[in-house]
Each structure stands twice: as C-alpha cells, then as structure tokens.
Structure 1
Amino acid sequence: MNPLKILIVEDEVITAMDIQETLERADHQVTGIAQSYYEAMESVRRQVPDMALLDIRLQEGEDGIRLAKDITERYDMPIIFLTAHSEHDTFAKAKETAPAAYLLKPFRQKELALQIELAYHHFKLNKAAMPKSTTMEYLFLPINKGYEKIAKSDVLFMQAEGVYVKIFMLNESKPHLLSMNLGYLSQYFNDINFYRLSRSLLVNLSHLERIEKNHIYLRGFASPVVVPETNRADLLKHLTVVRTR
C-alpha cells in the first residue's frame, strides 16, 4: 500500500519510539508524537494525518477515548487504539467511537503493520460506499415540498429543536426547517469546517468571527449564538487562539 501519514498519541516515550520505528520501517511517515490531548489536537491542526494511533490512558489522567471522539468529529480519518487495558467497560466505551482496530500492548511489530494496512483499506472502502453528497460541495435538502440545492459552505450553523432542525444560511434572514434530527443530518456535513459544538448545535467554523464567554458571532448573522460556558473551552481547543500571558 502507499505510505500513510500517521499520528502517534502515547505518553510513554519508549513505547512511542518503538511504534515510530515500526511505522517508519513499513515506509509510513509519522506526523507527530503527542503525549496529551492538547498536543494531539495541535499536531492534527498543523498537519492532518491519514490515521491516528491512540493510547486510551494519557498523561495526567486524560482520556484517549474523548480525544478519539473529538478528532473524528472534526477530521475524516480512522483511529486505532493501542492500549494495555482489556477491561470490558473500557472496551465498551472505546467501541462507541467506532475505532478501526483495538490492539493490546505489548504489540507485535508485524501485527501492528498489518492492522494499519487492513484498517485503512476498510476505511477507504467504507468511504467509497458513503452517499456521494457527504463529499460534495452541494446538497439537495427537502425544502418547501421539494428538494432545494444548497452550498454546504453557505451554512452558518444548524440547531436542533425537538424533532426538527433549523438550518441558518449565509445572507438569508430566515432558517430552513427540516423534519429530521441533527444526528442524522450531520453525517452529510462531515467536512473539516463543521464542528459539533453541542448535542443541539453544529457550527461552520469558517464563518466564526468572534467568541465571548457565552456567545459566538458568525459572519452575516446579526444575533449572537448562545454557547454553554462548559463547551467554550472545548471549542477553543479546535481553534488557533493567541492568548495573553
């Protein structure tokens, strides 16, 4: 197979170096070695890999499963867990992120190389089988008793309201109202710019212009969008923010 760009997230330095050596021996490129959630997200922002290898337990008690969810919500790539933990509860939680593989340490070098090739092969097959609209710039949505063409880049944000979803568009005063849930609709907006800010809010970060304590402001949309304060910190992790000292 063609060489892959792979991110390693592992807080044990010796183990990380062993993994890097194994990958490079198989002609893959390591885009970075991260030891924490923050380092991993920063590495992905600098260079998006084809795949990520994650340990489930990171330094200072950080959760690799949460990291996997946040990476796959923003970036289209397979995840492989490399962990020393085989408990059923841990595996059940990891399974919710739909990982491409779950390998126990100590790993065998040949097995790791084969699992990477197999995982990426299945990832490409599944992607090819997805509805074309998930990878296209335009969608036809059920609007006004027909199907109306919209540009995904013109979507500001989508907000769930019960069994409905409101779609707010650039330069349009009123939202479109669709009778479906946000979880279902969001699969058609898995592009890198769309970020699931909360269970009821999917935002196009390319239109984000200002962030405040409890609000965000989007281009061409006069009203602020309310953001729970507890979600603000997570949003900032997905952006390049210059902080005061």
Structure 2
Amino acid sequence: MNSLNILIVEDETITAADIQETLEKAGHSIITIARNTQEAVAAVKKYLPDLAMIDISLERSSADGIDTARELLSHHRMPIIYLTAHSEAQTFQRARETMPAAYLLKPFRQHELAFQVELAYMNQHTKNLQTSETLLLPINKGYEKIHKDKVIYLLAEGAYVKVYMAGEEKPYLLAMNLGYLAQYFSTANFHRLSRSLLINLDHVSRLERSQLFMHNYTIPINIPEGNRGDLMKKLAVVRTR
C-alpha cells in the first residue's frame, strides 16, 4: 500500500520510538510524536495526517487519549488506533464511542502493529468510497463526475462495463471489471442481480415473474431463476392472497 503520514500520540519516549521505528520500516512517515493533547491538535491542524495512533494513558496531558481523540476528530476525520496497557471494560466502552479502527493492548507485536495500520486505513478508504454520493469515472481520456443515484444499472460485457444513466441516451463504456467497479456501489439500493449485472433498485418500474423493467427502458431484464428470491427480499412487494 502507499506510504501513510501518521501521527503518534504517546508520552512514553521508548514506546514512541519503537512505534516510529516499526512503522517507518513498513514504509510509512511519522509526521510527529505528540506527548499531550495540545501538541496533537497542533500537529493535526498543520499536517492533516492519514491516521493517528493514540495511547489512552497520557500522564503528561490534561486529557487522556480518548478525549484527545475526540478533539482531534473535531478538526480532521481519520482512522484512530488506540494503544493501551489496560483492558478494563469501562475504558473500552469509552473508546468504542469514538469508533476507532483498532484497539491494541500493550505489549504488541511489531508486525501486528504494521498490519493494523494497513487494515485501518484500507477499511476507512473503502467506507468513504461506499458512502460517497458521487464518483469520477474515467470517460473520454479524463474523469467525469456522476451522481450514483442516477445510475440505472451496470452491465458487464467482456472486458468492459456499460454504465446506464438516467437522462443519457447511450451508456458510458468503461474498460474495467464489474467486480472491481461494484465496490463503489455497495449501498443498499444497489443489488447484484447476476455476475454480469448490478441494478439500482430505486429505478425498478415493473416486476414480472422472470423479468424486470427499469425506468425509461422498454427492454426487459431477465431475472435468473436462482436469484429471484434474493431480489424479492430487497423489494417492497405487496403480494396477493
């Protein structure tokens, strides 16, 4: 993965140095080592780090690591990894409220630390992709912004994906795999009808036994028999008695 700019919030000098050495060996950059809330806030405002590793017990700070994390997140959204030598349930519940990417108990293994950093960033990146309302698609030697709610369906054809949009006469043709593109359409309104077709349920206009019709399209979509049950669970269907 790419090198990350990481903030370490740790007031134990030896521990902070060990973390820095481990992460730099993994290819990441440490923007600074903060020993209290004030130093951490200043670093976040200046550098906008990709991720922060925060010790919960900050004896040289006016606030502990959990309150520090809350303050940092009010200035800049990023994954948080907590480090602690304690495993009390009350502390964990407080930390949980800040929705951390990981919660590591000391002493931790060096390779475990590097793995958790990579997973935390990847999960946050994926979450951002999933919740974004717009995308920039590679179209006509550039990137064109689309709104995902206007996507009617995506159809795989060989090495390409056709993206059918509301208000567009012709689909966009993208040279990529549908499985790769589908990760950007993981919200509840998108449904993988088959290996080659991903539909937007908000654009369904009519449902028949083995066919599906989308808004503004007269050509029906065939529903694979084995996939009909999953589709019906996603649609609010008023059944006859």
Using the size of structure 2 for normalisation, the TM-score is 0.54
**Is 1:42 aligned to 2:39, yes or no?**
no
2:8, 2:30 within 8 Å by CA — same for their partners in 1? yes
The one-character-per-residue Cα deviations of 1:65-94 (angstroms, maximum 9, x if unpaired) are 011112112212100001111100000000
- Equivalent position SS for 2:30: strand
Q: How does 1:115-194 map to 2 (within 5 A)?
A: 115-132=116-133
2:146 aligned partner: none
Q: How does 1:54-93 map to 2 (within 5 A)?
A: 54-60=54-60, 62-93=63-94
Runs of 4+ in 1 over 6 A off after TM superposition: none
2:45, 2:75 within 8 Å by CA — same for their partners in 1? no
Aligned partners of 1:123, 1:131: CA distance in 2, in Å? 12
**Is 1:98 aligned to 2:132, yes or no?**
no
Return the offset for 1:57.
Answer: 1.2
Instruction: Give 1 or 2 for the bigger CA radius of gyration.
Output: 2
The one-character-per-residue Cα deviations of 1:83-106 (angstroms, maximum 9, x if unpaired) are 111100000000000000000011
The range that moved more, 15-24 or 66-75, is: 66-75
2:182 aligned partner: none
Instruction: Summarize the Cα distance change of 1:87–1:125 in structure 2 as closer, same or farther, 3 Å threshold.
Output: same
Aligned partners of 2:132, 2:12: CA distance in 1, in Å? 40
Aligned partners of 1:74, 1:113: CA distance in 2, in Å? 25
The one-character-per-residue Cα deviations of 1:135-185 (angstroms, maximum 9, x if unpaired) are xxxxxxxxxxxxxxxxxxxxxxxxxxxxxxxxxxxxxxxxxxxxxxxxxxx
Aligned partners of 1:51, 1:59: CA distance in 2, in Å? 22
Residue type of the alignment partner of 2:65: G
Greater relative contact order, per chain length (Cα 8 Å cut-off, separation 6+): 1
- Equivalent position SS for 1:126: helix
Return the offset for 1:34.
Answer: 0.5
2:4, 2:50 within 8 Å by CA — same for their partners in 1? yes
- Equivalent position SS for 1:59: coil
Gaps of 5+ in 2: 135-241
Return the offset for 1:131.
Answer: 3.9
Using the size of structure 1 for normalisation, the TM-score is 0.53
2:9 aligned partner: 9
Gaps of 5+ in 1: 134-245
Aligned partners of 1:73, 1:39: CA distance in 2, in Å? 15
Q: How does 1:11-30 map to 2 (within 5 A)?
A: 11-30=11-30
Q: How does 1:233-244 map to 2 (within 5 A)?
A: none
Aligned partners of 2:115, 2:46: CA distance in 1, in Å? 27
Residue type of the alignment partner of 1:48: L
Aligned partners of 2:60, 2:79: CA distance in 1, in Å? 25
1:187 aligned partner: none
User: RMSD of the alignment, in Å?
Assistant: 1.2
Return the offset for 1:59.
Answer: 2.4
Aligned partners of 1:132, 1:31: CA distance in 2, in Å? 31
Count of residues in Structure 1 that have an aligned counterpart in Structure 2: 133
The one-character-per-residue Cα deviations of 1:217-239 (angstroms, maximum 9, x if unpaired) are xxxxxxxxxxxxxxxxxxxxxxx
- Equivalent position SS for 1:43: helix
Aligned partners of 1:59, 1:38: CA distance in 2, in Å? 13
Aligned partners of 1:43, 1:60: CA distance in 2, in Å? 17
Residue type of the alignment partner of 2:20: Q
